[in-house]
Each structure stands twice: as structure tokens, then as C-alpha cells.
A = this chain, B = another copy of it.
């Protein structure tokens, strides 16, 4: 790995090359998890592939000096780099296969340059140059894709550049009366929240990728945050957005709602850079909540808990966050305490939650004015209790909130220790949820057992709608064979095929990327694919916009 000095104006991505989060966030596994790995999965510390920075090599840039001079002419010399230190961290996302690849495949296919335009005109000029020169463009925000969305696929072109949105980092305007803010696409979640908090506002979008992911990424991947019950998915927060396409700038979203034809916002949201580059979003914001109220509940089983969540959402009782872990996730998180593998941490400040292990843990948060939050909590509690829940007090929900972004950090420690761990997600109607959950869990278990390891499959509901809910799976098994990447892809393929066969969506909030592209046609049909391709060809006639993603 050649450690060249990055060009001045190009910040390095915040996350460490080979792991989720920064080096400072890394932590060893505690005895609880080690015991679980050893006893349940037969995984011992020595088994995992390790990352060796010295072994890493970046593919050489295929761009010529003339090319680089041209790029520098568009965005300024300080905003173009072919340094390995800049190209390497933009070469891969943060899926488990990505993380394993740093350990197992140190020869890295990199984008041929990193380019960071400073405004819409520069993005347009860059796309124009790329179209004329046959160079593909992969937009880069926080680098948190877990579906191969950053894969530097040149799509048959002679080179591919990573277009970093780092300079689109401003709170461009705020309309306090309308509750709207215009945010640069390169703003990370925490930075956007800080800027809004200075005006007394919050966006309220808290996906697990929150510490690193950016506004543009949220929009282009249809991100959904943990407070989606209260504030909606990101695609519901977007009042308008700017996408610079190769044929011109698109400003979508003229009004809060409109009957002026198809909603073009919803054509651009989820387009993953295939139609152009999102440079800013106009989003709904709300005053920083006066209070946050917490309450956790235990249900005897997942079906009972799911029926209770369904009643809450269909009656509109108004939680900001509502989640339900299945029996396995509840048990594992209890066993592993604060370093929980799944998302629903419990027991850090007790409140009797540990007294009665078993069942399914449900976590709720309520935000707003004191009266609003109390009213929504009381109405929600009444429904949950009537549907078989038992209150555990606020403790487990507080613990979860405290550690809500921590789970992915643990994944690297697990990988280092010989475990194979990954998450995947889907969604369907309430009536179809049990069959979908069973099918995915069985597919994962069977595939991993076929590779020679038992598997721990945990599941939770984290996003609810009146007609259905998401299912989020966390899988832990043992790395087996010489290629745990292939081992995981086999399991993931089995899960995806189960999702397709059972009628779920191939992705509720992780997006399509390279990984889910083979399943998109089954999801949207031949006519849907035709529509996507038509728009792609219309706005990206040279096919340079993220050619590896989205379009089957």
C-alpha cells in the first residue's frame, strides 16, 4: 500500500479502510460474545482472516496526464487525485464481502481518479467531459454502501472516476416557517443535525449508517432511519432535490404535493447515481423535540408482538420509534449484554429486563412536546398491553438508544475472530410476514449449514407501515473454507431467492447496488426494467453514470 499524501482539497473518507467506523471505534469482543461464538458456533479466535495493510495494492490509474489536466481544468487541480490513499478508500463499500475482501483480496480494483467538484456547474462539466471521453462516474458520499454501490465498474468505458460530494457540505438555506432546509448532498448525518440544531431544528433521520452516510446517499438509496415511524423514510422527507444529469440539471419537487403528472422526485430517489449526481436535497425538518420518552415491552412470542405493532401502526397511536426483536435476537442480546450483536441492546441499566429472559423485546420512543409524547406513549402502551405486551419500563429502550449506532463496529471484530456476520433486510405485508421470515431464516440456515457451520439467525421489525413491515436479519456463523466471501454470497443468494419466491422486496432500505441487481427484474417486471432503461438512456446517453448499479 503506497501511502501518498492526498491532494489538499480532498478530504479522506472518515472510515478506516478495512472496517466500519474509525480505528478509534474498534473494540475487542467481550467474554459474552466469545463464549457464544465458541459454544454455539464452534468459532474460535484464531479462525478469522486478518487485514494486512502492507499487502494492499491499488490498480494503476488508467487516466492519462492529458485526462488529469482536463479534469483539473474542470474542478481545480486540488480536487483531482490519483493517489492510492485517495482511491483505495473509495474502491469498496462496507458490506461483509467488502470487509472480507480487504482481508482476502488485497489487490484492489480502484477508481482511476477521485474528483471533487465544487458546484453544480462543475458537476455538469465533469459529466460532459466523461460522456465525451468515455469515462464512467461513481458518486461518493459517506462510503457506507452495503450492497456494492461503490463498485468502480467502468461499464465498458476506458476508465471510472469516483465523484466525491465532499464540497457540497453546506446548510444552504432554511425556511423555519415551512419546516424545510436545503442541505448539500455531501453533508453527513451528524454534521447536518449540528447545523440544523443551531436553528432549533432536526431532520430526524437516524439509519445505522448515520455517523458517516450523507444526505445524497440517503436520497439516492431510499434510506430509512430508526425513527421512520415518527418522521418517515428519507424518501418521505425529501420535499425536493437537485440531480445533475448529463443532459441538464433536474430540480424536482415544486410543491409539497402535486397532481402534475408522475412524481419525478420518486423517479430520482433510489436512482443510485444511474441518472446523474444528486447535489442537494430540500428536506422536511422539525423542531428539536422537547422531550424523548422511552418504554420497552416484552411479548411472549414474535407473532404476538408483530400483531401488537400492527395494531399500533394501523390505529396511528404515534410512536417515533417502534421495534420488535424476535426470540433469538432477544436472547442473544441478553446473553451478550452491552456488546449486542443484533441491534436491540438491553439490560445496560436493567429495570428488571433481565429478570425474565425469553420472549421478544419491543422498544419504543416518543418525541415532541411533553404533552404530545405523553399522549402518544399512553395510547401506544394501551394498545401494546391489550395485545399481550408487558411493560419493562424505560431502561431497555434507553440502552438501545444509547448504543443504536454501535452494532456495525462489532462486525469487524467478529470477522477478525473467525465469525461470518452480515445483515440483510426485506419488507412485505403484515399477512405475509411470518412466511417471509421463515423462508429467509430457513434459506440462510440451510445454506450456511451446507457450508459446514451452524448459523445464528436473528430478526427484528424496525420499520412499520399500516399495511406491512420490514424484516431485518442479522446472521452469525463460522467462516468456513478458503473463501468466506463466496461462502457468504451462497447464503445471501439463497436468502434473496427466498425473498423473491415469497414475495418480499429485495431490499427495504439497503438499496440495489451491484449485489441486488440480479433480482430487480423479478421485483419490477419486464415493463419496469424497460421504463428504467428508457430514462437511463434519455438522461445518460453515453451510459457513464454509475453503470454498475441499478439497471438490470
Q: Which residues from chain A sit less than 8 Å from chain B, CB to CB? A: 175, 177-180, 221-224, 233, 235, 239, 245, 247-252, 254-272, 284, 286, 310, 314-318, 368-369, 371-372, 375, 379, 426-432, 463, 465-470, 503-512, 516, 520, 523-528, 530-535, 537-539, 550
Contacts and interface: CB of A to CB of B under 8 A. Distances in A.
A527 B508 contact: no
Contact of A260 (B252, B506, B534): B506
Contacts of A550: 261
A507 B249 contact: no
Contacts of A249: 525, 527
A534 B534 contact: yes
A220 B269 CA distance: 21
B375 A255 contact: no
Contacts of A430: 177-179
Contact of A256 (B180, B256, B429): B429
Given A248-B527, A316-B318, A526-B248, A260 B178 contact: no
A63 B58 CA distance: 68
Contacts of A255: 426-429, 468, 504-505, 508
B266 A262 contact: yes
Interface pairs A-B: 5 shortest CB-CB: A266-B266, A534-B538, A255-B505, A256-B468, A222-B259
Contacts of A316: 318, 368, 372
A271 B261 contact: yes
Contacts of A530: 247-248, 538-539
Contacts of A222: 258-259, 263
B516 A260 contact: yes
A495 to B, nearest CB: 15
A429 B178 contact: yes
Nearest to A551: B261
A254 B520 CA distance: 11
